[in-house]
Amino acid sequence: MTISMYQASVPVFLRGLANLKAILEKAAAHAQAHKIDDTVFVTDRLYPNMLPLSKQVQIASDFARGTTARLAGAEPPSMEDNEKTLADLIARVHKTIDYVTPFTAAQIDGSEARSITRPVRGQPKTFTGINYLLQFALPNFYFHSATTYAILRHNGVEIGKPDFLGALD
């Protein structure tokens, strides 16, 4: 059995985004239940030289949206990085899900050899579609999603590995 570029991208991003949205919703409920201003979570970071939670979610969203579009041969729409609350971040993830969902296998499959150039550490880097997806986009998507999870867990939000992984099929 083979796996297609579509199967390795769109459903993977949609599942990860749904799980990301769910942990952000749990964080919002936790903040409300404990009378915590949710901007405490939004602006928190694991270490002073790391990006805050808001940027972690924005980057995860950007990788899901951008990778899907680029594999389909399109340029993704930009989103402003202006989220200030958990509700704003949840809405951003929801918009990303809405953008990624309509892409079809016909648009993505066959993109393994497509040339994709993206800036990496300030320098242009050209990838094949499959290398872009497997060696750059998915690792970055998961890094920023996992960092979001870690920031929330560190702040006492009652989430665990099953929340990050989601329901297993």
Q: What is the 3-state secondary structure (H, E, C) of the chain?
A: CCCCHHHHHHHHHHHHHHHHHHHHHHHHHHHHHCCCCCHHHHHCCCCCCCCCHHHHHHHHHHHHHHHHHHHCCCCCCCCCCCCCCHHHHHHHHHHHHHHHCCCCHHHHCCCCCCEEEEEECCEEEEEEHHHHHHHHHHHHHHHHHHHHHHHHHHCCCCCCHHHHHCCCC
Sequence-distant (≥ 6) Cβ neighbours of residue 36 within 8 angstroms: 30
Give the model's pLDDT for residue 153. 97
Instruction: Decide if pLDDT at 1 tops 80.
Output: no
Instruction: Please report whether residue 92 resides in a domain.
Output: yes
Average pLDDT over residues 119-128: 93
Instruction: Decide if pLDDT at 31 tops 90.
Output: yes
Average pLDDT over residues 98-123: 96
Structural domain count of the chain: 1
Instruction: Please report whether residue 124 resides in a domain.
Output: yes
φ, ψ of residue 20 in degrees (nearest 5): -60, -45
Give the model's pLDDT for residue 11. 97
Mean pLDDT for all residues in the chain: 96
Instruction: Please report whether residue 169 resides in a domain.
Output: no
Give the model's pLDDT for residue 168. 78
pTM, two decimal places: 0.95
- Which CATH number is 56's domain given? 1.20.120.450
Average pLDDT over residues 68-81: 95
Give the model's pLDDT for residue 23. 98
Instruction: Please report whether residue 168 resides in a domain.
Output: no
Instruction: Please report whether residue 61 resides in a domain.
Output: yes
Give the model's pLDDT for residue 169. 72
Instruction: Please report whether residue 25 resides in a domain.
Output: yes
Q: Which domain holds residue 146?
A: 5-163
For CA atoms 12, 112, 62, 43, the dihedral sign is positive
Give the model's pLDDT for residue 167. 83
Instruction: Please report whether residue 87 resides in a domain.
Output: yes
Instruction: Decide if pLDDT at 74 tops 70.
Output: yes
